[in-house]
Amino acid sequence: MAEDVKPRVRVPGKATAGEAITIKTLISHAMESGQRKNGDGNLIPRSIINRFTCAFNGATVIDVTLEPAISTNPYFEFQAIVPETGTFEFTWYDDDGDVYTDTQNITVS
C-alpha cells in the first residue's frame, strides 16, 4: 500500500431537494509520475491514483480518470444536485490495486 494515503471529503450535512451542493474531496497521495529518476539514475516506478468516482445512492455522479501529470494530493471540487436523503460514496483506485473509500450521508428536507 502506498504510504500515508488518507481520503478526506466534505459534504454539507443537509440540503433542500434539488439544491446544487458543493462537494470537496482530497486524498493525500504522492502521485509518483513514473517520469522521475532516483539518485542512482533509475526510474522511480509510477504510483498514482488512476480513477476517482463519486456515486449517490448507487447512481454515478462523476467518474474521473487521473493521469500522471496530476499533482500530489489530488483535490476535486464539484457540484451535485441531491433529490433525496441518501449517501454519497467516494472511491479512489490506486495503481497498486488498493481501493480507498469514504461515505457521507446527507439529509434532504
Q: Return residues touching another protein (CB under 8 A).
A: 4, 6, 8, 10, 24, 26, 28, 72-73
Identity of the residue, 3 or 40, whose beta carbon is nearer to another protein in the bound complex: 3
Are 24 and 76 a contacting pair, CB within 8 Å? yes
**Nearer of residues 10 and 107 to another protein, judged by Cβ:** 10
CA distance 61 to 74: 18
Q: How far is the CB of 17 from another protein (least distance, A)?
A: 25
For the bound state, the minimum distance from the C-beta of residue 75 to another protein, rounded and expressed in Å, comes to 8
Q: How far is the CB of 10 from another protein (least distance, A)?
A: 5
User: Using a CB cutoff of 8 Å and minimum separation of 24, what contacts does 37-46 make?
Assistant: 46/95
Bridge partners of 89?
A: 55, 103
What's the min distance (Å) between Cβ of 93 and another protein?
Answer: 20
Nearer to another protein, 10 or 98 (CB): 10
- Angle, vertex CA 95, rays to CA 1 and CA 68, nearest 5: 120
Among 18, 15, 7, which residue's Cα sits nearest to residue 106? Answer: 15
Closer residue to another protein in complex, CB, 9/64:
9
